[in-house]
Structure 1
Amino acid sequence: MTLSCMCGYVFMWMAAVVLPSFQATSNVFYSKINDSQNLNCQCPDHTCQEVFWYRHLESRNTLQFLMYVNSAGREQHGENFNASKFKGTVSTGQKVVYTLRIIELQEDDAGFYSCLFKTKNFLPAGYYIMPGVNPPTVQPPTVKTQPRPAKPCNCNSRHSPKGCEHLVLWPGIGALLLLAITLAGTLYYFSRLPKKCRHRFAK
């Protein structure tokens, strides 16, 4: 049994366990046709000696084993996949980072890409790759403008500002009504008084 077949069997067994939740966390890349894309798979410590790269194609609804890479940089591709399309590298430091480089992306490469560590029981965040798809436009958030509070009128000046007419009009009308009532009462009072007799002087 070749190394590729062994890696494929190990990968399929591990993917069957964790695949139902593989879309839980992921990033989306809207790549252009014939562009290249780098995908990183970070190990939280130095115990990740082997990694399996895979993808799930949306057009075919199939799960494919891409390649196997170990910490020494040795790689083994799956069937019908070669180094001209997929390249795997590893960098070590405080953490071990495995990188998958995909060259000359095409529309049929659209799907979900991720990795599996042989000695870990967690699934790193994957990537959605959408070659030739324009990213959705995000509309700016609508900001509700609060109405400005009414500006207090200062009507003490000689020229009343616009908007203060009602503060002058109603008191003026009240004063006129009061004056009219007072005048009417005064006239009514004097009309009820007895008239003075006028003496006629004889010639």
Structure 2
Amino acid sequence: MLPCFGAMPTVLYPKINGSETLACQCPDYSCQVVYWYRYLEKNNSLQFLMFSNSAGREEHGVDIKSTRFKGSVSSGQKLLYSLRISGLQDDEAGLYSCVFRSKHEMPVGYYIKPGVSLPTPPPPPPPPTVKTKKTVGTCRCRNPSVSPKGCEHSVLWPSIGALLLLAVALAGTLYYFSRLPKKCRHRFTKPNHLR
């Protein structure tokens, strides 16, 4: 049965006959022995690969070649165990991980897929379209019957000015003629019939 992990393992895509190096880090210095195993997809079987200790001693499982599976350990702030696998074949696809003897925790591990092409990421989504607001420019009313919104002031104010100028001119003309002296060319007299 495939172990269940809370996190996803790292997926590796080596070429056929390629190699991979897997790392397994101990949270402290109490991890003196590490066990490496794999869960193969082809027959759904769990297989013991090897164990190694902090002194560099190794023992391999049944039918596991020590020339293809090599362990190492390095110490720094924490102990780091590594497993180098060479000559990977397509039937060796599966989950590879380690277990520390003194810990009750199991690292997530690696999912190795020899000979499988790295999947291409989906294309990025297109950038969001930005709607630009139309700017209201200067009014150029060519057709007097169609006046765009915002152009009324260009037609209305000159018309009012012309009407006011006409009214002033008319009022001035009427005032001028009203001030002229009144002359009468014909004097009518009443006929006197009594003579």
TM-score (normalised: structure 1): 0.67
- Is the deviation greater in 130-139 or in 47-56? 130-139
Residue identity matched to 2:126: V
Matched-pair contact (CA < 8 Å) for 1:87–1:100: yes
Residue identity matched to 1:121: H
Partner of 1:81: 64
For each residue in 1:123-179, what CA deviation from the matched residue of structure 2 results, as whole angstroms up to 9, or x when unmatched?
1121000000011111122134233222211225xx57xxxx73378x59x98xxxx
Provide the C-alpha distance between the structure 1 equivalents of 2:130 and 2:54, rounded to a whole number of angstroms: 63
Q: CA deviation at 1:63?
A: 0.1
Matched, 1:39 2:22: yes
Q: Secondary structure at the match of 1:21?
A: coil
Matched, 1:137 2:120: yes
Provide the C-alpha distance between the structure 1 equivalents of 2:61 and 2:5, rounded to a whole number of angstroms: 20
Provide the C-alpha distance between the structure 2 equivalents of 1:94 and 1:147, rounded to a whole number of angstroms: 52
Provide the C-alpha distance between the structure 2 equivalents of 1:23 and 1:109, rounded to a whole number of angstroms: 24
Partner of 2:93: 110
Provide the C-alpha distance between the structure 2 equivalents of 1:115 and 1:22, rounded to a whole number of angstroms: 13
Distance 1:107 1:66, change over 3 A: same
Q: Secondary structure at the match of 1:141?
A: coil
Q: CA deviation at 1:85?
A: 1.2
Q: Secondary structure at the match of 1:59?
A: coil
Provide the C-alpha distance between the structure 2 equivalents of 1:91 and 1:50, rounded to a whole number of angstroms: 13
For each residue in 1:15-44, what CA deviation from the matched residue of structure 2 results, as whole angstroms up to 9, or x when unmatched?
x9xx63247431000111111100000001
For each residue in 1:39-74, what CA deviation from the matched residue of structure 2 results, as whole angstroms up to 9, or x when unmatched?
000001110000000000001100000001000000
Provide the C-alpha distance between the structure 2 equivalents of 1:23 and 1:35, rounded to a whole number of angstroms: 29
**Matches of residues 64-103 of structure 1 in structure 2 within 5 Å?**
64-103=47-86
Matched, 1:63 2:46: yes
Residue identity matched to 1:106: Q
Choose 1 or 2 for highest CA Rg: 2
Question: Structure 2: where are the runs of 5+ without partners?
Answer: 142-146, 157-195
Distance 1:24 1:150, change over 3 A: closer
Residue identity matched to 2:24: C
CA RMSD between the two structures: 2.6
Q: Secondary structure at the match of 1:28?
A: strand
Which structure's residues are more often helix, by fraction? 1
Matched, 1:30 2:24: no
Matched, 1:154 2:137: yes
Residue identity matched to 1:150: K
Partner of 2:149: 167
Matched-pair contact (CA < 8 Å) for 1:54–1:65: yes
